[in-house]
Amino acid sequence: MEKKKVAILGAGITGLVTAYYLKKAGIAFRIFEKSTHIGGVIDTREQDGFVYERGPNSGVIANAETAEFFEELGNRCKLEIANASSAKRLIWKEGKWHALPSGIVGGITTPLFSLKDKLRLLGEPFRKKGDNPNETLAHLVIRRMGQSFLDYAIDPFILGIYAGDPDYLVPKYALPKLYRLEQDYGSFIGGAIKKKREKKSPGEKKVTREIFSVDGGLRNLTNTLTAILGEENIETGCEDISVTKSGNNFHVHRKGQQEDFSHLVSTVNAGVLPQLFPFVEAKQWQPITNLVYAKVTEVAVGFKKWNGIPLDAFGGLIPFKEKRNLLGVLFMSSLFKSRVPKGGALLTTFVGGTRKPELAELNEEALYKLVKKELEITMGLQNAEPDLFEFATHQQAIAQYGADSEERFRAIANIELLHRGLYLAGSIRDGIGLADRIKQAHFMAEDIILNE
């Protein structure tokens, strides 16, 4: 096969953005999706005046590639930046919400952290940096900052991002920027100060860290990309798909048909890779299929009339130490416009995660009772019946980057080296957020475009 032609497995954000850049470069492609839904886990719904998400609720402008991608889309898909109140995060402690401090004064006066750890923090810039690349996040934070900072800052932060366990996650892979602060600068505090003073490149200046969605919900992003790519280039309902290889070509089989490609991009979860690619030795998949995922049920709860606490924050996170049954609550109606009827409120709550996976398996009746009770306690609601209660359970919601990540990354690189033209992508590497997926797709497409 002389001309490049790329097969993309999965019509989620990684696959769609990869195809977007390939189309810009004039390279032929075809996307194959197992389900009948285009967009992967992105799934915005509307009901009774509420606009809610059943997958990711937002992203962060965490890299230049994401900022530039939306610049290119322009008015075709208008970026919506979260309300300024999103800078405020609430943490639940001993029956009350407390704002996570963002400055020195707040850090001194907050009841979230112990006096011992506040005083101990003064010595953080002078502590020796760690030398174990597989040190867990919990160990790192206790070593540098103290137990209360782990319990009431890092643990809820990790629940909000990974729905995970800081005793399992390894910063080198799960939070590489935090890891590099210690390794490159010797300190979290000193590193943050020095990085702030460093001269930024034009690309770095675009990294605003702002929380974003798009007008009308994230489905409008995937709908826009679908329109740009052309629905004729996206085949859904490919449940029986398989891939074979001969020479340098990949052959995609589905519905009794075969189509040949010079390159193949996989964006699927780790567990299904061996059956999709039988030409790869089974033992090579082992470090990849060992990847652990958090199981999470996401619940959208809407009220046409809100009588609870003020929703003047991004949301609230609930530390595992507090022994409640929610991972956290996002105040979606405060973050983005036109999500609720006037005077109403929309919350997104999460249950399950790696430490309470059984809660993600509750039936609708049990889930309703649990969420209603938790919201009454944490949100100041008294016997309030929601006008909207919709949920989605994600069996493999969020990849967990633990100590085995380096072995997984090596296995991916080795398979790609042995089978030139094959790209193993998605959340199995390179991060779990929307911005991570856009950046990964950008560089993957660039590699296909520039290399034979």
3-state secondary structure the chain: CCCCEEEEECCCHHHHHHHHHHHHCCCEEEEECCCCCCCCCCCEEEECCEEEECCCCCEECCCHHHHHHHHHHHHHCCEEECCHHHHCEEEEECCEEEECCCCHHHHHHCCCCCHHHHHHHCCHHHCCCCCCCCCCHHHHHHHHCCHHHHHHHHHHHHHHHCCCCCCCCCHHHHCHHHHHHHHHHCCHHHHHHHHHHCCCCHHHHCCCCCEEEECCCCHHHHHHHHHHHCHHHEECCCCCCEEEEECCEEEEEECCEEEEECEEEECCCHHHHHHHCCCCCHHHHHHHHCCEEEEEEEEEEEECCCCCCCCCCCEEECCHHHCCCCCEEEEHHHHCCCCCCCCCEEEEEEEECCCCHHHHHCCHHHHHHHHHHHHHHHCCCCCCCCCEEEEEEEEEEEEECCCCHHHHHHHHHHHHHHCCCEEECCCCCCCCCHHHHHHHHHHHHHHHHHCC
Say yes or no: do domains 5-41+61-72+219-284+404-450 and 102-202 share a fold. no
Q: What is the mean pLDDT of each run of 10 residues along the chain (452 residues)?
A: 90 99 98 97 97 97 97 95 90 97 86 96 94 97 97 97 98 97 95 91 94 97 98 95 95 93 98 96 97 98 96 96 98 95 96 98 98 96 92 98 98 98 98 98 97 74
The pLDDT assigned to 1 comes to 54
The pLDDT assigned to 84 comes to 87
Domain boundaries, the chain: 5-41+61-72+219-284+404-450, 102-202
The pLDDT assigned to 108 comes to 86
What is the length of the chain? Answer: 452
| CB-based contact 40:378 (threshold 8 Å) | no
| Residues of the chain above pLDDT 70, percent | 99
Q: Distance between alpha carbon 339 and the CA centroid of its chain, in Å?
A: 21
Residue (of 364, 236, 237, 353) closest to 294 by Cα position:
353
Each residue's pLDDT tens digit, 381-435: 988 899 999 999 999 999 999 999 999 999 999 999 999 999 999 999 999 999 9
| CATH 1.10.3110.10 assigned to 102-202 | yes
Amino acid at 96: K
The pLDDT assigned to 103 comes to 79
Fold for domain 5-41+61-72+219-284+404-450? FAD/NAD(P)-binding domain (3.50.50)
